Amino acid sequence: MERVAHNLTPMAPCLAEARAQWLSHLKTERRMALATQQAYERDLRQFCTHLVDYLGHPPRKSDFSNLKPLHLRGYLARRRDIGNGARTLARDLAGIRSFVRFLEQRGEASSAGLSAMQAPRQPATLPKPLAVADASRLIDENQQMHGEPWIAARDAAIMTVLYGCGLRIAEGLGLTGETLGISDATKPIVTAKTVRVNGKGGKTRLVPVLPIVGESIERYLQLCPFDIPVNEPIFRGARGGVVQPAVVQRAMRVMRGALGLPSTATPHAMRHSFATHLLGNGGDLRTIQELLGHASLSTTQKYTAVDAKALLKTYEAAHPRA
Per-residue pLDDT for 309 more than 70?
A: no
Q: Is residue 39 a contact partner of residue 23, using CB atoms and an 8 Å limit?
A: no
268 noted as active-site residue: yes
H or E element at residue 97: helix 86-105
| Residue 50 is among the residues annotated as catalytic for this protein | no
Angstrom distance (rounded) from CA 264 to CA 309:
20
Q: Which of the residues 61, 97, 256, 294 is marked catalytic? A: 294
**pLDDT of residue 181 exceeding 90:** yes
User: Do 162 and 172 contact (CB within 8 A), yes or no?
Assistant: yes
Nearest Cα residue to 162 out of 217, 241, 105, 109? 217
Q: Is the pLDDT of residue 4 over 60?
A: no
Q: Which of 64, 92, 98 is nearest to 78 (CA)?
A: 92
Q: Is 272 a catalytic residue?
A: no
Catalytic-role residue among 303, 309, 315, 321: 303
Q: What is the pLDDT of residue 142?
A: 66
Statement: residue 119 has pLDDT above 70: no
The predicted structure's pLDDT at residue 245:
92
pTM over 0.75: no
Answer with the residue of higher pLDDT: 147 or 245: 245
- Residue 203 is a catalytic residue: no
Give the span between the Cα atoms of 106 and 103, in whole angstroms.
5
What are 100-103's contacts with CB under 8 Å, separation 24+?
100/64, 100/67, 102/18, 102/21, 102/22, 102/25, 103/18, 103/22, 103/61, 103/64, 103/65
Contact 38, 83 (CB under 8 A): no
Residue 89 CA, chain-centre distance (Å), reads: 18
Instruction: Please give the residue that has the higher pLDDT: either 2 or 274.
Output: 274
Q: How many Cα neighbours within 13 Å face the side chain of 73?
A: 8
Distance CA 104, CA 109 (A): 4
| Residue (of 139, 219, 209, 201) closest to 167 by Cα position | 209
Write down the catalytic residue from 60, 146, 200, 302: 200
Proportion of the chain above pLDDT 70, given as a percent: 87
pLDDT band at 137; cut points 50, 70, 90: confident
Average pLDDT over residues 244-259: 89
Q: Is it the case that residue 78 has pLDDT exceeding 80?
A: yes
- The confidence score (pLDDT) of residue 248 equals 92
Structure confidence by residue, pLDDT tens digits, 200-228: 777 889 999 999 999 999 999 999 999 99
* DSSP bridge pairs for 194: 208
Does residue 271 have an active-site annotation?
A: yes
pLDDT at residue number 146: 62
- Residue 5: pLDDT band (50, 70, 90) is very low
- As a whole number, mean pLDDT of residues 184-213 equals 88
Marked catalytic residue, from 168, 239, 253, 302: 168
Least confident of 26-40, 160-174, 218-232: 26-40
Residue 243 has pLDDT above 90, yes or no: yes
Angle at 236 between CA 233 and CA 240, to 5 degrees: 115
Residue 230 contacts residue 177 (beta carbons within 8 Å): yes
- Does the structure show a pLDDT above 60 at 310? no
Domains present along the chain, CATH in parentheses: 13-116 (1.10.150), 132-269 (1.10.443.10)
How many C-beta atoms surround the C-beta of residue 258 within 10 A? 14
- Higher-pLDDT residue of 251, 5: 251
Counting residues of the chain whose pLDDT is more than 90, the rounded percentage is 38
Please tell me which residue in 219, 236, 268, 277 is annotated as part of the active site. 268
Do 164 and 213 form a contact (C-beta atoms < 8 A)?
yes
- Whether the per-residue pLDDT at 118 is higher than 70: the answer is no
- The CA distance from 248 to 181, in Å, is 24
Rounded to 5°, angle at Cα 48 from 43 and 50:
100
Output 124 or 265, whichever has higher pLDDT.
Answer: 265
The mean pLDDT value of the chain amounts to: 84
The pLDDT of residue 315 is 66
Which entry of 50, 79, 205, 271 is annotated as an active-site residue?
271
